[in-house]
Amino acid sequence: MEEKKPKRPKKPKTFAPSLSGRCLRYSVMDLLGFGRQLSDDTLTAMHEGASLHKQFQQSLATSCDVVGLEVPLKNSELRISGRIDAVVREHEHCIAVEYKTMRDEKFSAMRMTGPVFDHWAQLALYVNIGGYYGGWLVVENRGTGERLTWPQTPDPSWTEWLVQRIAAAQEYQEKKALPLREVSVKCRHCDRWQRCFKSESDREAAIAAHPLWEPVPQAPDITWQNDPAVWRREGIQ
Ligand code: SF4
Protein backbone atom coordinates (compact mmCIF):
# COMPACT_ATOMS: atom_id res chain seq x y z
CA MET A 1 0.00 0.00 0.00
CA GLU A 2 1.25 3.47 -0.92
CA GLU A 3 2.35 5.50 2.06
CA LYS A 4 0.51 8.78 2.56
CA LYS A 5 2.71 11.86 2.40
CA PRO A 6 2.59 13.86 5.65
CA LYS A 7 0.63 17.09 5.19
CA ARG A 8 2.77 20.22 5.22
CA PRO A 9 1.78 22.54 8.07
CA LYS A 10 -0.19 25.51 6.72
CA LYS A 11 1.82 28.74 6.80
CA PRO A 12 0.25 31.47 8.96
CA LYS A 13 -1.31 34.28 6.94
CA THR A 14 0.99 37.25 6.46
CA PHE A 15 0.13 40.77 7.64
CA ALA A 16 -1.32 42.91 4.81
CA PRO A 17 -0.12 46.55 4.74
CA SER A 18 -3.75 47.72 4.45
CA LEU A 19 -4.26 46.54 8.06
CA SER A 20 -1.61 48.95 9.38
CA GLY A 21 -4.00 51.58 10.73
CA ARG A 22 -6.87 49.28 11.66
CA CYS A 23 -8.24 48.23 15.00
CA LEU A 24 -6.13 45.38 16.44
CA ARG A 25 -9.12 43.08 16.71
CA TYR A 26 -9.95 43.68 13.03
CA SER A 27 -6.36 42.86 12.03
CA VAL A 28 -6.40 39.63 14.00
CA MET A 29 -9.72 38.62 12.42
CA ASP A 30 -8.08 39.12 9.05
CA LEU A 31 -5.01 37.08 10.02
CA LEU A 32 -7.27 34.28 11.24
CA GLY A 33 -9.26 34.30 8.00
CA PHE A 34 -12.59 35.68 9.27
CA GLY A 35 -14.97 36.78 6.50
CA ARG A 36 -16.17 40.33 5.85
CA GLN A 37 -19.75 41.57 5.37
CA LEU A 38 -19.58 43.75 2.29
CA SER A 39 -22.64 45.84 1.49
CA ASP A 40 -23.77 46.44 -2.12
CA ASP A 41 -22.54 50.04 -1.83
CA THR A 42 -19.10 48.87 -0.72
CA LEU A 43 -18.89 46.36 -3.55
CA THR A 44 -19.84 49.04 -6.09
CA ALA A 45 -17.26 51.43 -4.63
CA MET A 46 -14.61 48.70 -4.77
CA HIS A 47 -15.43 48.00 -8.39
CA GLU A 48 -15.26 51.68 -9.36
CA GLY A 49 -12.09 52.10 -7.33
CA ALA A 50 -10.39 49.20 -9.13
CA SER A 51 -11.01 50.70 -12.56
CA LEU A 52 -9.87 54.20 -11.43
CA HIS A 53 -6.84 52.56 -9.90
CA LYS A 54 -5.80 51.18 -13.29
CA GLN A 55 -6.35 54.56 -14.94
CA PHE A 56 -4.25 56.25 -12.27
CA GLN A 57 -1.36 53.83 -12.76
CA GLN A 58 -1.47 54.44 -16.53
CA SER A 59 -1.57 58.22 -16.02
CA LEU A 60 1.53 58.12 -13.83
CA ALA A 61 3.65 57.17 -16.82
CA THR A 62 2.91 60.54 -18.43
CA SER A 63 3.79 62.66 -15.39
CA CYS A 64 6.47 60.70 -13.48
CA ASP A 65 9.50 58.47 -13.88
CA VAL A 66 7.84 55.17 -12.97
CA VAL A 67 10.14 52.53 -11.49
CA GLY A 68 7.38 49.93 -11.17
CA LEU A 69 3.69 49.25 -10.63
CA GLU A 70 2.32 46.80 -8.06
CA VAL A 71 5.77 46.58 -6.54
CA PRO A 72 6.05 43.72 -4.00
CA LEU A 73 6.85 44.52 -0.41
CA LYS A 74 7.90 41.55 1.71
CA ASN A 75 9.48 41.39 5.12
CA SER A 76 9.93 37.81 6.27
CA GLU A 77 11.08 38.78 9.76
CA LEU A 78 7.90 40.78 10.40
CA ARG A 79 5.80 38.42 8.25
CA ILE A 80 4.44 41.26 6.08
CA SER A 81 3.52 40.90 2.46
CA GLY A 82 1.81 43.24 0.02
CA ARG A 83 2.11 45.30 -3.13
CA ILE A 84 2.75 49.01 -3.48
CA ASP A 85 0.56 50.71 -6.09
CA ALA A 86 3.57 52.37 -7.70
CA VAL A 87 7.15 53.36 -7.08
CA VAL A 88 8.40 56.48 -8.87
CA ARG A 89 11.79 58.13 -9.06
CA GLU A 90 12.11 61.77 -8.03
CA HIS A 91 15.56 63.44 -8.02
CA GLU A 92 17.19 59.97 -8.02
CA HIS A 93 15.17 58.86 -4.99
CA CYS A 94 12.53 56.11 -4.92
CA ILE A 95 9.12 57.19 -3.68
CA ALA A 96 6.30 54.78 -2.75
CA VAL A 97 2.89 55.87 -4.06
CA GLU A 98 -0.40 54.80 -2.46
CA TYR A 99 -3.60 55.65 -4.34
CA LYS A 100 -7.10 55.75 -2.83
CA THR A 101 -10.50 56.90 -4.05
CA MET A 102 -13.23 58.54 -1.96
CA ARG A 103 -16.83 59.65 -2.26
CA ASP A 104 -17.40 63.38 -2.74
CA GLU A 105 -18.51 64.11 0.87
CA LYS A 106 -15.59 62.24 2.39
CA PHE A 107 -13.20 63.88 -0.05
CA SER A 108 -14.47 67.35 0.90
CA ALA A 109 -14.10 66.51 4.59
CA MET A 110 -10.58 65.36 3.96
CA ARG A 111 -9.62 68.81 2.69
CA MET A 112 -10.39 70.15 6.14
CA THR A 113 -9.25 67.28 8.31
CA GLY A 114 -6.34 65.77 6.41
CA PRO A 115 -5.88 62.20 5.23
CA VAL A 116 -7.62 59.17 6.70
CA PHE A 117 -5.48 57.54 9.37
CA ASP A 118 -5.67 54.04 7.80
CA HIS A 119 -4.38 55.33 4.47
CA TRP A 120 -1.58 57.29 6.09
CA ALA A 121 -0.54 54.29 8.19
CA GLN A 122 -0.43 52.02 5.13
CA LEU A 123 1.89 54.44 3.37
CA ALA A 124 3.95 54.76 6.57
CA LEU A 125 4.52 51.02 6.46
CA TYR A 126 5.80 51.21 2.89
CA VAL A 127 8.07 54.16 3.64
CA ASN A 128 9.41 53.12 7.04
CA ILE A 129 9.51 49.34 6.81
CA GLY A 130 9.97 49.13 3.04
CA GLY A 131 12.88 51.58 3.30
CA TYR A 132 11.71 54.18 0.77
CA TYR A 133 13.06 57.71 0.61
CA GLY A 134 9.52 59.03 0.91
CA GLY A 135 5.91 58.43 -0.07
CA TRP A 136 2.93 60.12 -1.69
CA LEU A 137 -0.61 59.49 -0.64
CA VAL A 138 -2.83 60.33 -3.61
CA VAL A 139 -6.57 60.51 -2.96
CA GLU A 140 -9.03 60.93 -5.83
CA ASN A 141 -12.63 62.13 -5.69
CA ARG A 142 -14.63 59.36 -7.38
CA GLY A 143 -17.24 61.87 -8.57
CA THR A 144 -15.11 64.70 -9.94
CA GLY A 145 -11.71 63.13 -10.58
CA GLU A 146 -10.03 65.79 -8.42
CA ARG A 147 -6.93 64.60 -6.56
CA LEU A 148 -5.13 65.57 -3.38
CA THR A 149 -1.61 64.42 -2.69
CA TRP A 150 0.18 64.33 0.65
CA PRO A 151 3.92 63.72 0.78
CA GLN A 152 5.38 61.58 3.56
CA THR A 153 8.94 61.21 4.86
CA PRO A 154 10.45 58.46 7.05
CA ASP A 155 9.70 58.78 10.75
CA PRO A 156 11.11 56.39 13.41
CA SER A 157 8.04 56.87 15.62
CA TRP A 158 5.99 55.24 12.88
CA THR A 159 8.42 52.32 12.56
CA GLU A 160 8.22 51.72 16.30
CA TRP A 161 4.43 51.92 16.39
CA LEU A 162 3.88 49.70 13.36
CA VAL A 163 6.32 47.04 14.56
CA GLN A 164 4.60 46.89 17.96
CA ARG A 165 1.11 46.70 16.49
CA ILE A 166 2.05 44.01 13.98
CA ALA A 167 3.79 41.95 16.67
CA ALA A 168 0.73 42.27 18.93
CA ALA A 169 -1.62 41.13 16.14
CA GLN A 170 0.61 38.16 15.32
CA GLU A 171 0.78 37.13 18.97
CA TYR A 172 -3.02 36.80 18.99
CA GLN A 173 -2.86 35.05 15.62
CA GLU A 174 -0.55 32.41 17.09
CA LYS A 175 -2.87 31.93 20.08
CA LYS A 176 -5.88 31.87 17.73
CA ALA A 177 -7.59 34.36 20.03
CA LEU A 178 -9.19 37.75 19.48
CA PRO A 179 -8.08 40.83 21.42
CA LEU A 180 -10.59 43.12 23.09
CA ARG A 181 -12.53 45.55 20.92
CA GLU A 182 -11.03 48.97 20.21
CA VAL A 183 -14.38 50.72 20.13
CA SER A 184 -14.64 54.04 18.30
CA VAL A 185 -16.67 55.70 15.55
CA LYS A 186 -14.71 53.49 13.16
CA CYS A 187 -16.89 50.56 14.29
CA ARG A 188 -19.80 52.13 12.38
CA HIS A 189 -18.08 51.49 9.04
CA CYS A 190 -16.31 48.27 9.97
CA ASP A 191 -17.16 45.30 7.73
CA ARG A 192 -16.67 42.86 10.61
CA TRP A 193 -18.73 44.70 13.23
CA GLN A 194 -21.17 41.79 13.56
CA ARG A 195 -18.35 39.86 15.25
CA CYS A 196 -18.15 42.51 17.96
CA PHE A 197 -21.72 43.59 18.68
CA LYS A 198 -25.05 41.78 18.99
CA SER A 199 -26.96 44.48 17.13
CA GLU A 200 -26.66 47.94 15.58
CA SER A 201 -28.16 49.51 18.71
CA ASP A 202 -25.58 47.70 20.85
CA ARG A 203 -22.85 49.02 18.55
CA GLU A 204 -24.21 52.61 18.61
CA ALA A 205 -24.41 52.60 22.41
CA ALA A 206 -20.79 51.45 22.64
CA ILE A 207 -19.70 54.17 20.17
CA ALA A 208 -21.60 56.85 22.10
CA ALA A 209 -19.79 55.79 25.28
CA HIS A 210 -16.38 55.64 23.59
CA PRO A 211 -16.19 57.51 20.27
CA LEU A 212 -12.44 58.05 20.11
CA TRP A 213 -10.07 55.36 18.91
CA GLU A 214 -7.38 54.74 21.52
CA PRO A 215 -4.95 52.14 20.21
CA VAL A 216 -2.19 50.78 22.44
CA PRO A 217 0.47 52.05 22.12
CA GLN A 218 -0.77 55.51 21.23
CA ALA A 219 -0.59 56.18 17.48
CA PRO A 220 1.73 58.83 16.01
CA ASP A 221 0.00 62.17 15.49
CA ILE A 222 -1.13 63.00 11.96
CA THR A 223 -3.12 66.16 12.69
CA TRP A 224 -0.31 68.33 11.30
CA GLN A 225 -1.34 66.96 7.90
CA ASN A 226 -4.43 69.18 8.04
CA ASP A 227 -2.37 72.18 6.98
CA PRO A 228 -3.13 72.84 3.27
CA ALA A 229 0.46 74.02 2.87
CA VAL A 230 1.55 70.44 3.48
CA TRP A 231 -0.73 68.68 1.06
CA ARG A 232 -0.86 71.00 -1.96
CA ARG A 233 1.52 69.43 -4.32
CA GLU A 234 2.13 69.75 -8.02
CA GLY A 235 3.17 66.92 -10.26
CA ILE A 236 0.43 64.28 -10.25
CA GLN A 237 -2.58 65.19 -12.30
S1 SF4 B 1 -16.39 46.64 15.07
FE2 SF4 B 1 -14.95 48.04 16.03
S3 SF4 B 1 -13.93 46.84 17.59
FE4 SF4 B 1 -14.89 45.41 16.20
S5 SF4 B 1 -13.31 44.90 14.71
FE6 SF4 B 1 -14.51 46.55 13.87
S7 SF4 B 1 -13.40 48.41 14.45
FE8 SF4 B 1 -12.67 46.75 15.76
Please state whether the predicted TM-score (pTM) of the whole model is above 0.85.
yes
- Ligand 1 atom closest to the Cα of residue 29 is 5
Q: Domains for the chain: give ranges and CATH numbers.
A: 17-179+221-231 (3.90.320.10)
CA of 64 to the centre of ligand 1 (A): 38
Element (H, E) at 205: helix 200-209
pLDDT digits (tens, 9 = 90+) for 156-177: 999 999 999 999 999 999 999 9
Sheet holding 80-90, edge to edge: 65-75, 80-90, 93-102, 134-141, 147-152
Residues 147 and 133: their CA atoms lie apart, in Å, by 22
- Ligand 1 atom closest to the Cα of residue 24 is 8
Question: Can you give 52-88 as a three-state secondary structure string?
Answer: HHHHHHHHHHHHCEEEEEEEEEEECCCCEEEEEEEEE
pLDDT digits (tens, 9 = 90+) for 88-112: 999 999 999 999 999 999 999 888 8
Residues 21 and 2: their CA atoms lie apart, in Å, by 50
Lowest-pLDDT choice from 15-19, 79-83, 87-91, 105-109: 105-109
pLDDT digits (tens, 9 = 90+) for 114-161: 899 999 999 999 999 999 999 999 999 998 999 999 999 999 999 999
Whether 26 lines ligand 1, by a CB cut-off of 6 Å, is: yes
Whether 169 lines ligand 1, by a CB cut-off of 6 Å, is: no
- Ligand 1 atom closest to the Cα of residue 187 is 2
Whether 23 lines ligand 1, by a CB cut-off of 6 Å, is: yes
Q: Measured over all CA atoms, what is the biggest interatomic distance in the chain, rounded to whole angstroms? A: 74
User: Is the preceding peptide bond at 217 cis, omega within 30 degrees of 0?
Assistant: yes
